Amino acid sequence: MGREVLARLSGHARKERPELGSVSEAELEAFILARVPDERLDDAARVGDLLLACACARGVRAGHDALQALSQPDIDRAHARIHPPVTLHQARELVWRHLLHVPDGGAARVALYKGDTDLLAWVRSLANRLLLGLVSGSKAAPASLEDAILQHSAGNAALADEPELERVKQTYLPGLRATLGYTLTSLEARERALLRDAIVEGHDLDALSLMYASPRAEIAAAISAARDKLAYRLKNRLAERMKVSDRDHASLVACAELELDAALSRTLDS
C-alpha cells in the first residue's frame, strides 16, 4: 500500500471534516491503518468517519460535538420506539457517555469503530442495544469489577470439583469481596481499566488493542502483569484482614486466583 494512497485518503477526510484539524497526520494514519486492511484502503473507505472516531477517541471537543449532533436524532427515535425507563436526556447521555467517556487510565469505546460500516449506523446499533438492555434489565447498572470477578464461580469447573474451595468462598464471601475491592484500588489506574474492560465489558484482545492503540501482545502482557500483581497483593491483604486458619487462608487465595483466571480466560485465550 503506497503512502500516496493513505495521504490522498487523509486529504479527503480533512476536506470532509475541516473542524478536526487538531488530529495530527500521524494520529489519523495510525488510526486508519490499525482498522482498515490494505485491500479495503481505497476511495470507498470511510475515512471521514474514521477521522471523526479518531478525534472522539482522543477527546477532541469538536469531535464530541459533531458525533453528538449527528447521533441525537437516532437516539431520540430509539427512545420513542423502545420506551426505556429513562428520560430522553438521560438516554442521550447514556449513549454518549458509553462511547466518549475516558475513564481514569482507560480508553474511549468509540475507538472500537473500524470503518467497516457507516459510523452513524454503528452508533445507532449501539444505542438500540443499550436502551433495550435497560428495558430487559441487562446491563442496567455496570457491575463492579470485584463482583464481576467473583460471579464466575457458576461456570468455574475447578471450583465445582473442589467442594472445600466453594465452602470457603461462600463462608467468607463478604470479606473476600471487600478485600478484593480494597486491593483493586491499590493497582494503577490503567491496570484497573484494563481489567475492567476485559472482565466487566468482555472486550477481547483485538478490541482492547484498538481501544488502547497497543499491540495485542503488549495488551496481553499488561493484563497478565495486572493479574499477577492483584493476586499477590490480595494474598497478603487476606492474611492481614481476615482472621482465618492457615488452611482456610490458603483455600481463599486459591479460590480468588481461580475466579480471576476464569474471569480473564476469554480475553487472554482469544
2-16, 77-91, 138-152: which has the minimum mean pLDDT?
A: 138-152
CA distance 130 to 81: 13
pTM, entire model = 0.86
- The residue that leads in pLDDT, 267 or 209, is 209
pLDDT of residue 152: 59
SS3 126: helix
- Structure confidence by residue, pLDDT tens digits, 238-258: 998 888 888 889 988 998 898
Amino acid type, 130: L
CA distance 266 to 207: 12
What are the start-end ranges of the H helices in the chain?
3-16, 25-33, 47-57, 61-82, 88-100, 119-136, 145-150, 157-160, 163-184, 189-199, 205-212, 216-241, 246-268
CA distance 199 to 194: 8
pLDDT of residue 218: 97
Hey, CA dihedral for 141, 209, 207, 107, is it positive or negative? positive
CA angle 76, 79, 82 (to 5 degrees): 150
Per the CB < 8 A criterion, the answer to whether 231 and 201 are in contact is: no
Mean pLDDT on 224-233: 96
Q: What residues contact 35, with CB distance under 8 A and at least 6 apart?
A: 50, 113, 114, 115, 210
- Structure confidence by residue, pLDDT tens digits, 122-164: 999 999 999 999 998 755 445 789 988 987 554 555 555 578 8
pLDDT of residue 154: 47
